[in-house]
Structure 1
Amino acid sequence: MARPNRNQPAPAAATARIRGRRTALLSGALAAALTTTLLHAPPAAAEPDGLRRGPAECEADPLAPPKREMRAEWIAGVHNIDWPSRQGLAPEQQRAELVGLYDEARANGLNAVFVQIRPTADAFWPSPHEPWSEWLTGHQGRDPGYDPLEFAVEEAHARNLEFHGWFNPYRVAMHDDPGRLVEGHPARRNPDWVFDYNGRLYYDPGIPEVRSFVIEAMMHAVENYDLDGVHFDDYFYPYPSSGAPIPDRDTFERYGGAFDDIGDWRRDNVNRLVREMSAAVHAAKPHARFGISPFGIWRNASSDPDGSDTRGFESYDGIYADSRRWVREGWLDYVNPQVYWEIGLPVADYAVLVPWWERVTAGTGTHLYIGQAAYKVGNDGAWSNPRELARHVEMDRAHPGVHGEVYFSATSLRTNAADAMAILASEHYARPALVPVTPDRGGATPGRPVVVGAESAGGDVRLRVRAGQGMAPAYYAVYAFEGHDGFRPTPCRFEDPRSLVTTVRAARGRETVLTVPGGSGAHTYFVTAVDRLHHESDPSNPRRLP
């Protein structure tokens, strides 16, 4: 991820108003059918005819957090930033490290991980196209002794974390010596595909065969693993260095015939990759979402009237990334701009860029998640305040077009940003959130589940749940309401996430045992079934404990 360095002046005041998430709500008239008899239904009772979703809207509670929100972290492999923490760890050590990161993500209230699985034209899985990654074993091409991607996906899903495979399309090596690449590497077999720039090797985005190859290499993971999303970061053409030109003039002369300007041609090359990868992902896995985390500034208003009121580096001109067009053309399911600056920074004000991106995504169907610079927490200025990230979340929730956050990166959330994350976990992520639904990706609402058994066990609650009719759910959401006698759960109460206590992955069979964190006193529990695209069913029959 790009890490722009900016001076850090004192921030302006953040907006504190909490945005209200509007979702489809349950019908009040039908809620009246939830009677005392229903509340006392026996364990194997048939699905109730009571609570049904309807068109009515509930009044938003300004104190309630959003029920649906992307809450994710990046887990970077390049330079062993996050996982594995160093090269050459034994398989059991690598697995233990990743499980630890996942458990922390879940404890912090996150619901997704963006895991880097192709950092430098290599692979975290047995790829027929590219060698095993050196970041795993310390030796490019060496088998790590297990399938890291298979393990990473399975363990994420076991914790009901969405798994987005993070790919870097064109970066070949963090050095400029092709001879250091493993024998048989595609970059060694095709030296005309590669250029070196600022001490690193890159595939040349202007060569059509290169674009076809990198798509094929990435799609092998998409086609063979159960990914929920496919993610690119901000690296396409390299970031400029000291005015040195990108060495692709010969490529332009060969392939740029329709263009007079090399910049327009480079942007078209990137656009083609984005468009073609989007089509390939959706053809192979219609449920998988494709998203990119571009640099936070597209263009400044001084360069383009459609740009933002900023004065920073422009990705459109500097790295040929026309991120605004990717959104407007509908090529992305989500855009995740790296708005890595504080509130009030004159050249790139967080409070300016978030509403600008909200306007870009408005009416497009592309979700907007904001990339957060957790790695900056503890720096001088605004970042010395551990509440800076919380202020960002509070501001984002005041903008209905913002659907969540992604934090860079996992190690920062347990080190320099640990206090900031603790604030977020206690004040904003104390209750789970469902991932926002992306309507264009399909999916279907599962049938209402049935709670067929319930017991208290060791301070927790265990609910035995049977899947309803229709498609099998991906996971279950559990709601707990205080009280027993006379309890009437109105439809709107299921839209208030403060009653949502956990989400649990569904077992492969028809029944799943859900372990729910225990609470003191009497509670009435309901369960909903959710598909992998996060469409939620009507509530189950209720169960009371103790």
Structure 2
Amino acid sequence: MNHLNKRAWIIIAAAAVIAVLMAIIIIFAPTGSTSAPVMLTVSPDGGGKKPETTVTTGEASVVTYGTNSYTVPQSLTESEMRAVWVPYMSLYGLTKEGIDKIVSDCRNIGANAIIFHVRPFGDAVYDSEFFPWSHLLTGTQGADPGYDPLEYVIEKAHENGMELHAWINPLRISLSGGTPSPLSADNPYTKWRTDSDPSNDSWVVDYNGGKYYNPAVPEVRRLIIDGMVEIAAKYNVDGIHWDDYFYPAEDSSFGDGAQYSAYTASGGTASLIEWRTENINTLIRESYSRIKATDSSCIFGISPAGNIQNCLNAGADVYKWCSSGGYIDYICPQIYWTFESKVAPFDARCREWKAMVTNDDIDFYVGLALYKAGSDADGGQWKRSTNIIARQIEYLRSDAVRADGFMLYSYEYISGSQTFSEMENLIALLAANE
């Protein structure tokens, strides 16, 4: 046997030994999953979700939705953001079992992130030093639910290879219908309005039946930011998320007249809307700075309304946020129209927003109106077509936009008869790209 043949036989023998060892590892290795994989089955008659044992191949689960089957990898983290908003309406009486279901459902449609509502009404769906426990959990604001939902949902999301972003409404305390009511004794609104100090009464504002924090007040901004820093410090969240609620009024009917008068009396020359816009910008800059100082890996982003003029009227300076550093890590406008819309065609509105993002460090996501699927919205367009969301995602991925991902509004609509066909087409698209 010459030198080359001897070397070849050595290589072949070594390869055979490696192959045997790999076979032994595959046979006896654990799956790596901390929770049993489930199969999502949804019937078109609105039968809902039925957890079953999936077909599992290696580290992947084969999932079906209607007539489509696709593979969900053990870890779903990838370059494209595929998020689902879980709003406060989904959190009433929330239990650990309910959280398990939310995470499983989101994972099984191919999502890789959950945007979880943790402060919808100046409250907390977590153990907070600054805000009372949310009424959503027990029916009474301030009542301890006996566990920490944020801590638990983070654990479960990460076990399933998904990101968890804590979603807050920075200014809203209650809706015009009185939700939540009553406010707890330890709610900042209650404390400021019932203490012996009249100077802090205007730190909160009653407007159009609702209650709001007044962002013109430095102490109020500090409270809002302290609450976000608390989340970033205590919890292993991947991000903190704001939606589209800023100033609820465009005119002087919102009760911040005392602060604006003090500003002009000191020589300020900005108009009311310019002054309000700077209050919001200051809040966002300081939020970003302190979140990053607490946890540099925690991203901070905002999902404003898709109508740019409405944003500007509410004090949301989206042009500045998208072009400057130190405000946000991503923008996610809620572009809730169709391609055929006469008011705001989806493609044109996407290009308009994308053109605003001139800072290369800012990611561009788009919020999609899954809740409209199968409904009479927009003159029946969502009933006449069942692949609107899928086509929108294809457009976001195209060279015309090159978006970094999308978010679906909302969790309640990822199953059920109304959105079944739309979801089936959406999942087929996602499956084709796995």
CA distance in 2, matches of 1:150, 1:375: 28
Would you say 1:201 and 2:203 are equivalent positions? no
Offset from partner CA, 1:313-352 (integer Å, 9 cap, x none): x3102x1111121111122111110001111212211110
What secondary structure does 1:123 align onto? coil
Name the % identity.
33
- In the alignment, what sits opposite 1:337? 333
Letter in 2 for 1:407: L
Deviation at 1:294, TM superposition (A): 0.6
CA distance in 2, matches of 1:264, 1:39: 73
Letter in 2 for 1:419: S
What secondary structure does 1:430 align onto? helix
Q: How does 1:397-416 map to 2 (within 5 A)?
A: 397-398=397-398, 399=400, 401-415=402-416, 416=418
Kindly tell me: are residues 141 and 175 of structure 1, through their superposed partners in 2, closer, same or farther at Cα, counting changes over 3 Å?
farther
Q: How does 1:15-34 map to 2 (within 5 A)?
A: none
- In the alignment, what sits opposite 2:381? 382
- In the alignment, what sits opposite 1:101? 102
Aligned residues of 2:374 and 2:422 also touching (Cα < 8 A): no
CA distance in 1, matches of 2:85, 2:17: 45
- In the alignment, what sits opposite 1:165? 166
Letter in 2 for 1:189: K
What secondary structure does 2:308 align onto? coil
Kindly tell me: are residues 40 and 236 of structure 1, through their superposed partners in 2, closer, same or farther at Cα, counting changes over 3 Å?
farther
- In the alignment, what sits opposite 1:439? none
What secondary structure does 2:107 align onto? helix
Q: How many residues align?
A: 351
CA distance in 2, matches of 1:120, 1:425: 33
Letter in 2 for 1:249: G
Would you say 1:41 and 2:18 are equivalent positions? yes
- In the alignment, what sits opposite 2:321? 326
CA distance in 1, matches of 2:298, 2:18: 39
What secondary structure does 1:429 align onto? helix
CA distance in 1, matches of 2:209, 2:97: 34
- In the alignment, what sits opposite 1:421? 423
Select the residue among 218, 221, 224 that pairs with 2:228.
Answer: 218
Deviation at 1:38, TM superposition (A): 6.8
- In the alignment, what sits opposite 2:260? 252
TM-score (norm 1): 0.61
Kindly tell me: are residues 363 and 315 of structure 1, through their superposed partners in 2, closer, same or farther at Cα, counting changes over 3 Å?
closer
Specify which structure has the bigger relative contact order, considering alpha-carbon pairs within 8 angstroms and separated by 6 or more residues. Answer: 1
Aligned residues of 1:229 and 1:290 also touching (Cα < 8 A): yes
What secondary structure does 1:121 align onto? coil
Kindly tell me: are residues 255 and 244 of structure 1, through their superposed partners in 2, closer, same or farther at Cα, counting changes over 3 Å?
closer
- In the alignment, what sits opposite 1:146? 147
Would you say 1:353 and 2:349 are equivalent positions? yes
Aligned residues of 1:222 and 1:281 also touching (Cα < 8 A): yes
Letter in 2 for 1:333: D
Aligned residues of 1:110 and 1:429 also touching (Cα < 8 A): no
Aligned residues of 1:206 and 1:255 also touching (Cα < 8 A): no
Aligned residues of 2:228 and 2:240 also touching (Cα < 8 A): no
What secondary structure does 1:355 align onto? helix
Aligned residues of 2:165 and 2:241 also touching (Cα < 8 A): yes
Aligned residues of 1:327 and 1:364 also touching (Cα < 8 A): no
TM-score (norm 2): 0.76
Deviation at 1:379, TM superposition (A): 2.2
Offset from partner CA, 1:133-183 (integer Å, 9 cap, x none): 011111000000111111011011111110000011111112487983111
- In the alignment, what sits opposite 2:392? 392
Aligned residues of 1:382 and 1:388 also touching (Cα < 8 A): no
Letter in 2 for 1:217: G
CA distance in 1, matches of 2:147, 2:140: 15
Deviates more, 1:407-416 or 1:357-366: 357-366
Deviation at 1:272, TM superposition (A): 0.6
Structure 1 ranges of 4+ moved more than 6 A? 35-40, 176-179
Name the one with the larger helix percent.
Answer: 2
Aligned residues of 2:413 and 2:419 also touching (Cα < 8 A): yes
Letter in 1 for 2:382: W
Deviation at 1:40, TM superposition (A): 7.4
What secondary structure does 2:219 align onto? helix
Kindly tell me: are residues 359 and 260 of structure 1, through their superposed partners in 2, closer, same or farther at Cα, counting changes over 3 Å?
closer
- In the alignment, what sits opposite 1:290? 300
Q: 5+ unaligned residues in a row in structure 1: which ranges?
A: 1-34, 46-65, 300-313, 432-496, 499-546
- In the alignment, what sits opposite 2:360? 364
Deviates more, 1:248-257 or 1:36-45: 36-45
Would you say 1:137 and 2:148 are equivalent positions? no
What is the RMSD computed on CA atoms of the aligned residues?
A: 2.4
Deviation at 1:126, TM superposition (A): 1.3
CA distance in 2, matches of 1:297, 1:368: 16
Aligned residues of 1:75 and 1:116 also touching (Cα < 8 A): yes
- In the alignment, what sits opposite 2:40? none
Letter in 1 for 2:82: R
What secondary structure does 1:286 align onto? coil
Letter in 1 for 2:129: P
Q: 5+ unaligned residues in a row in structure 2: which ranges?
A: 1-10, 24-76, 194-200
